[in-house]
Amino acid sequence: MSSKGDKRKRAGVIPFFVDGDTIKMMFMQCVTSPDAGWQIAKGGIEKNETIREGALREASEELGLFEPNCTTVKSIGSFGGITLYIAKVADQDMFGDPDPAETIATAWLTLEEFSETGRLSQKHIVKQAFEEISEITD
């Protein structure tokens, strides 16, 4: 995870799956801001890493996401300097353990659940991600 003064590019991933008519997205509770609510897994891009590679590495560290579990990875744009991807997963239970130095907990949430318990500054981003997911799952 990069510090606030760090000028590296940043990227993140919202993994998702569809259960019937319900879209569920995975979020994390961050060690450094546990009271901020659920949030998107994101962080700085390392030297010699593409933005996509960095986003997936951050999701691996913070969520336990395995890239081979992703059937689709799609960039949905940049939000406040963070390039965001959505990643459809084949198996919502095929995740490793997140790095305990970064993540307290992870959870699969609907848009409504994130709206109630998610990080305030990310609610509009998650709504946009949900709309993108809805378009590719219809």
What Å distances lie between residue 98 and 25, 80, 107, 114, 127, CA to CA?
16, 25, 12, 20, 24
Q: List, for residues 103-125, the tens digit of each pLDDT value.
A: 999 999 999 999 999 999 999 99
pLDDT band at residue 137 using 50, 70 and 90 as cut-offs: confident
The number of distinct structural domains making up the chain is 1
pTM here is 0.92
Q: List, for residues 59-102, the tens digit of each pLDDT value.
A: 999 999 999 999 999 999 999 889 999 999 999 999 999 999 99
CATH number of domain containing 37: 3.90.79.10
Q: 65: which residues sit within 8 A by CB, 6+ positions away?
A: 13, 15, 26, 41, 56, 59, 87, 89, 95, 96
Residue 47 resides in a domain: yes
Tokens 């709309």, residue?
131
- Domain range holding 34? 10-137
